[in-house]
Amino acid sequence: MQLQWRVGSMDTWEADCLIFFVVEKEAEFLPGFGKWLRDEGRWLAGCSALSDFQGKPQQTAVFYAPQDRKIPRVICAGLGPREKLDAERLRGGAAAALRQCRELKLARPALPATALDGLPLERSRSLEEALIGGMGGLYRFTALKTRDVDAESFPESLLLFSEVEPDDAFHAAASYAESLVSGISLARDLVVAPGNQVTPTFMAEIAQGLAESYGFRLRLINLQEAEKMGMGAFAAVARGSREPACIIVLEHCPPGMDEDPPIVFVGKGITFDTGGISLKPSAKMEAMKQDMAGAAAVLGAFEVLGRTRFQKRVLGIMPCTENMPDGKAYKPGDVIQSMSGLTVEVISTDAEGRMILCDAITFALQYKPAILLDLATLTGACIVALGNEAAGIMGNRDELVEELCTLGAEVGERLWPLPLWDSYFDYIKSDIADFKNVGERSAGTIVGGIFLKQFVTDETPWAHIDIAGTAWTEKDIASSPKGATGFGVRLLTEVLKRRPKLGWG
């Protein structure tokens, strides 16, 4: 769906419908809707169906105009009560409105800019959130369906009506929303597509496409090279698969910034996790195609970066491999030497995420990162702790973790902190190696974090984000239909966008 600005007075507006928002239990309509009702929509103003509309969150209603109007219908979307009104509610309302447009097969619905007046967010921010929610909510993955799909896709475009020339902030908000949604859609596509298609080679091809489109530097490290570089932990996992593994290194380096300490994103890219020799039970194993959601979020963030061209040096490091049982697979009891030199006793081959990430982290440190963030579907225990509502976050700087939590809450990708006290290291003490790759059952998510912490130097501000519970949703949520959510794309992008305002080193 495309966005198109249309500048002109209300009486010139022509579209398949107008979208307005309604706050629950409020006597007055929002100012933009009120003005339209007075000046153009008298047919609707007196309609009792409108006063019956309650405006509950994501509730919608369609009102039909008398014949031969330039605006044949109005869609109202509920935002819930004012005291709970926030960006999340607005994204949900916009998503519900546009899904309603799709249901009605409307090609060109319109959102008047004034529909966003009177909300507790700044106008351009409201537009940004409404568009992110609205466009994100329309996402679906139909590439593998050969029948029972609509050939046409509705809406074709969303008209943005404004009575005055929209200012720069409005234009910027709309184009940022478009870029962001394309990054989120890329991440969702990669996570939802199956493991026989999204192999490490496929991930590398996507990275190559991004590098060609946007001028990123790209380095692909294959298994042989990784072994030569001493990445024993990554190689241990990769050796068990017939699919060629790789480590993708994407770099965005604006001219003159070669010496700048980069912001580094590391994403877990297990394109299918069988558990390896510590084989997972077969029930629901198909869900493990999502185990590359961390890497997908990094690729999605690079898609946004390529379109928005932030003036920052940014690196994306994505270790990609399958985790398979095989004659050459690593085994419980094996001791593996990582690139850092530290040795790991393998207790479970199903804790493969931390194995590939620890070498990716050691590799990342060579770039002397200003900040190092890793994203991974690392532990089922994170789902036990937080469900699908928030990702777990751990790190070596409380301020960094706090700021990321605040940022996540603002943009609808909630994070919740877990402690990384040194005493947790006792859980992975080993008799034979420096430490084990798993402990007993308790504190599973923290143990994943404490494992990774062994590889991070104190001078590097680092956070680990466990997205096992947030990468996928079994039900439609505000602006993310059932399936892959693209969680992390917005968070990483906002880190790039806002970092100068934040004080992390």
Residue 128 binds: one of ligand BES, Zn ion, none (C-beta under 5 to 8 A by kind): none
Q: How far is CA 429 from CA 335, 346, 380, 386, 450, in A?
A: 13, 12, 21, 26, 11
Site for ligand BES, residues 256 to 285, rule: CB under 6 A: 273
State whether residue 110 is helix, strand or coil: strand
Residue 345 binds: one of Zn ion, ligand BES, none (C-beta under 5 to 8 A by kind): none
For every residue of 311-322, DSSP letters joined together read SS-EEEEEEEEE
Site for ligand BES, residues 9 to 48, rule: CB under 6 A: none
Residue 468 binds: one of Zn ion, ligand BES, none (C-beta under 5 to 8 A by kind): ligand BES
Per CB under 5 A, the list member of 24, 345, 350, 466 interacting with Zn ion is 350
Stretch that binds Zn ion, among 17-25, 108-116, 346-354, 495-503 (CB under 5 A): 346-354
Q: Is 401 exposed, middle or buried (0-12, 13-18, 19+ CB in 10 A)?
A: buried
Length of the chain equals 505
88 counts as binding Zn ion under rule CB under 5 A = no
CA distance 414 to 189: 22
444 counts as binding ligand BES under rule CB under 6 A = yes
Stretch that binds ligand BES, among 176-184, 205-213, 246-254, 351-359 (CB under 6 A): 351-359
Task: Specify the residue, 129 or 322, whose C-beta has the smaller distance to ligand BES.
Answer: 322
**Helix or strand (DSSP H, E) at 100:** helix 87-103
The answer to whether 159 touches 205, Cβ cutoff 8 Å, is: no
Residue 75 β-bridge partners: 19, 62
Q: How far is the CB of 104 from ligand BES (least distance, A)?
A: 36
Comparing CA positions, the residue from 391, 363, 356, 378 lying closest to residue 460 is: 363
CA distance 303 to 298: 9
Q: How far is the CB of 487 from ligand BES (least distance, A)?
A: 12
Q: How far is CA 57 from CA 54, 75, 213, 413, in A?
A: 9, 14, 39, 19
State whether residue 75 is helix, strand or coil: strand
Count of residues near ligand BES by CB under 6 A: 16
Q: How far is CA 222 from CA 232, 409, 500, in A?
A: 13, 38, 35
Residue 486 binds: one of ligand BES, Zn ion, none (C-beta under 5 to 8 A by kind): none
Q: How far is CA 483 from CA 60, 118, 293, 355, 486, in A?
A: 23, 34, 12, 27, 9
CA distance 296 to 318: 9
Task: Specify the residue, 353 or 412, whose C-beta has the smaller distance to ligand BES.
Answer: 353
Q: Look up residue 47 and give its DSSP letter.
A: -
Task: Specify the residue, 300 or 353, whose C-beta has the smaller distance to Zn ion.
Answer: 353
Q: Which two tokens stand for residue 309?
A: 């061209």
The answer to whether 474 touches 482, Cβ cutoff 8 Å, is: yes
Residue 20 β-bridge partners: 76
User: CB within 8 A of 458, min separation 6: which ones?
Assistant: 396
Per CB under 6 A, the list member of 291, 303, 374, 410 interacting with ligand BES is 291
Residue 348 binds: one of ligand BES, Zn ion, none (C-beta under 5 to 8 A by kind): ligand BES
Among 73, 354, 436, 490, which one carries the catalytic annotation?
A: 354
Stretch that binds ligand BES, among 200-208, 211-219, 227-235, 344-352 (CB under 6 A): 344-352
Known active-site residue 105: no
Q: How far is the CB of 242 from ligand BES (least distance, A)?
A: 19
Beta-strand pair 73-81/17-24: parallel
Stretch that binds ligand BES, among 44-52, 375-383, 416-424, 477-485 (CB under 6 A): 375-383
Per CB under 5 A, the list member of 353, 444, 449, 461 interacting with Zn ion is 353
473 counts as binding ligand BES under rule CB under 6 A = no
Stretch that binds ligand BES, among 134-142, 215-223, 346-354, 478-486 (CB under 6 A): 346-354
Known active-site residue 280: yes
Site for ligand BES, residues 385 to 424, rule: CB under 6 A: none
468 counts as binding ligand BES under rule CB under 6 A = yes
Among 56, 239, 280, 307, which one carries the catalytic annotation?
A: 280
State whether residue 504 is helix, strand or coil: coil
Comparing CA positions, the residue from 305, 266, 289 lying closest to residue 202 is: 289
Q: How far is the CB of 446 from Zn ion (least distance, A)?
A: 17
Beta-strand pair 415-417/263-267: unpaired
Q: How far is the CB of 276 from Zn ion (least distance, A)?
A: 7
Q: How far is CA 438 from CA 8, 147, 207, 341, 442, in A?
A: 63, 45, 31, 18, 10
The answer to whether 346 touches 333, Cβ cutoff 8 Å, is: yes
Q: How far is the CB of 245 from ligand BES (least distance, A)?
A: 15
Stretch that binds ligand BES, among 138-146, 233-241, 377-385, 473-481 (CB under 6 A): 377-385
Site for Zn ion, residues 281 to 340, rule: CB under 5 A: 291
Stretch that binds ligand BES, among 10-18, 190-198, 294-302, 373-381 (CB under 6 A): 373-381
273 counts as binding Zn ion under rule CB under 5 A = yes
Q: How far is the CB of 434 from ligand BES (least distance, A)?
A: 18
The residues that are catalytic are 280, 354
Site residues for ligand BES per CB under 6 A: 273, 291, 348, 350-353, 377-381, 383, 438, 444, 468
Binding site for Zn ion (CB under 5 A): 270, 273, 291, 350, 352-353
